């Protein structure tokens, strides 16, 4: 029979347990509870921590402990707690984890255009490259863009209108691509313009402005 040891610090008892076995089992905990009864609860919790750590790292020795027939009622109680905690954690680890959903930024339909293709699109739509850049870089508040204008741009790009609308509704680029217009005409990336503001501030002729502002929902 193991004789109870008194006067041993909890730190020393825990250290001895960690050295005795990487993943404590029922027999080891029974031995240490008998040896250090004043630390029974703390040692049980420490045994749980050691075993859970071993389980998390795939340790093959971290089997759920089996309660021996010879342990005392006190040890039986703490061992039951030990077993129950291990079972709960093992069940949670075995359960499938929820799939993380990552927000996917819509593809920019303008991204495939080179310089020549970009200017050609501006000509087809009869707008300036500054106005086109505001559309490309999401500098216009999407709720102010008429649906008929979105359809007009989609037809000019031979693009699905839903794809184009998703692009317009995505967050504006923090650093807009600026290679296709002069520095003095760069849009403000920090604040979106309304469609009307964009039309009036993009170097469009009076006739071009009138035509674009005539688009309605």
| Model pLDDT for residues 133-159, shown as the tens digit of each residue | 999 989 999 999 999 999 999 999 998
Structure tokens at 195: 């469609």
pLDDT tens readout for residues 18-64? 888 777 777 788 888 888 888 888 888 888 777 777 666 655 444 44
**Whole-model pTM over 0.75:** no
The DSSP secondary-structure symbol of 64 reads P
Proportion of the chain above pLDDT 70, given as a percent: 64
| Assigned token pair, 121 | 């699109």
99/216: higher pLDDT? 216
Buried b / exposed e along 90-116 (16+ C-beta atoms within 10 A): eeeeeeeeeeeeeeeebebbbeebeee
| pLDDT tens per residue, range 97-107 | 666 555 556 67
CA distance 119 to 18: 71
> What φ, ψ does residue 24 adopt, rounded to 5°?
-60, 145
How many Å apart are CA 137 and CA 174, to the nearest integer? 9
């Amino acid at each position: 029979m193991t004789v109870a040891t008194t006067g041993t610090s909890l730190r020393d008892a825990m250290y001895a347990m960690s050295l005795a076995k990487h993943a404590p089992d029922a027999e080891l905990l029974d031995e240490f509870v008998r040896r250090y009864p004043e630390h029974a609860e703390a040692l049980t919790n420490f045994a749980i921590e050691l075993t859970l750590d071993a389980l998390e790292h795939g340790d093959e020795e971290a089997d759920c402990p089996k309660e021996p027939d010879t342990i005392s009622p006190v040890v039986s109680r703490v061992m039951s707690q030990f077993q129950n905690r291990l079972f709960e954690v093992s069940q949670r680890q075995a359960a499938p984890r929820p799939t993380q959903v990552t927000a996917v930024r819509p593809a920019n339909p303008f991204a495939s255009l080179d310089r020549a293709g970009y200017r050609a699109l501006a000509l087809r739509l009869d707008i300036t490259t500054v106005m086109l850049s505001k559309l490309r870089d999401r500098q216009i508040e999407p709720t102010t863009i008429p649906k008929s204008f979105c359809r007009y741009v989609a037809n000019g790009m031979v693009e699905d209108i839903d794809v184009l609308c998703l692009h317009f509704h995505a967050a504006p680029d923090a650093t807009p691509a600026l290679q296709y217009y002069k520095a003095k005409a760069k849009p403000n990336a920090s604040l979106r313009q309304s469609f009307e503001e964009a039309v009036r501030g993009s170097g469009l002729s009076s006739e071009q402005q009138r035509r674009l502002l005539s688009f309605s929902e």
